[in-house]
Structure formats: C-alpha cells, structure tokens
C-alpha cells in the first residue's frame, strides 16, 4: 500500500467519522431542526460524485470512505425528514 493510499484512508477516517456523532445526536435527541436540509442534500450529491470518481479511477480509499459517508448522510437525511420540524410547545 502506497503512502498516498494510507493518507487517503486516514483522511477518510476523519472526514467520514465526523458524520457519526451528528447522526447519533439526531436520533438520540429525535431532533434535526438545526441541521440544514440544503447542506445534507449537497453533501449527499458531493459524496455520490466522489464515489463515482473513485470507482472510475479505481481509488480504494475514495470508494471505501465515500460509500460509508453516503450511508451516514442518508441516515442524516432520514433523521432530518423525520425530526427536522420543530414541535410546537403547548
């Protein structure tokens, strides 16, 4: 494994891993009102484009981490659609 691949794997760990606490918080608190829907959709599209790039150029770290990132972003999108509207207090 080349130095570039190792660097790509470590970078992916941090960038993709940064989504995990947010996904956990959304489902734990059952609230996503502070998550931007535009951000989530743009992140999904960007991840899909990165994944396509990785597949076309056969870049294992890009394929691996963007596949995982897309799973987390889909979960975040589900959380946003389910919990994104602030509940009115009575």
Pick the more confident residue, 5 or 53: 53
pLDDT band at 24 (very low <50, low <70, confident <90, very high): very high
- The full set of domain ranges for the chain reads 3-83
The position carrying tokens 């989530």 is: 40
Q: 3-83 domain in CATH 1.20.1280.290?
A: yes
Query: Comparing 59 with 85, which gets the higher pLDDT?
Result: 59
CA distance linking residue 54 with residue 43, whole number of Å: 16
Q: State yes or no: pLDDT of 89 exceeds 60.
A: no
Contacts of residue 66, defined as CB under 8 A and 6 or more positions apart, other chains included, come to 12, 16, 47, 48, 50, 51, 54
Predicted confidence band of residue 5 (pLDDT cuts 50, 70, 90): confident
With 0-12 / 13-18 / 19 or more C-beta atoms within 10 angstroms meaning exposed / middle / buried, residue 13 is middle
Q: Mean pLDDT, the chain, as a whole number?
A: 91
Using the predicted structure, report yes or no on whether residue 75 has a pLDDT greater than 50: yes
Give the C-alpha separation, 6 to 67, whole Å.
Answer: 17
């Amino acid at each position: 494994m080349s130095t570039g691949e190792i660097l790509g794997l470590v970078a992916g760990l941090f960038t993709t891993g940064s989504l995990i606490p947010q996904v956990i918080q959304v489902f734990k608190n059952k609230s996503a009102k502070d998550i931007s829907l535009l951000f989530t959709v743009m992140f999904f599209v960007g991840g899909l484009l990165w994944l396509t790039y990785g597949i076309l150029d056969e870049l294992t770290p890009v394929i691996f981490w963007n596949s995982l990132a897309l799973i987390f972003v889909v979960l975040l999108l589900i959380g946003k659609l389910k919990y994104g509207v602030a509940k009115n207090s009575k």
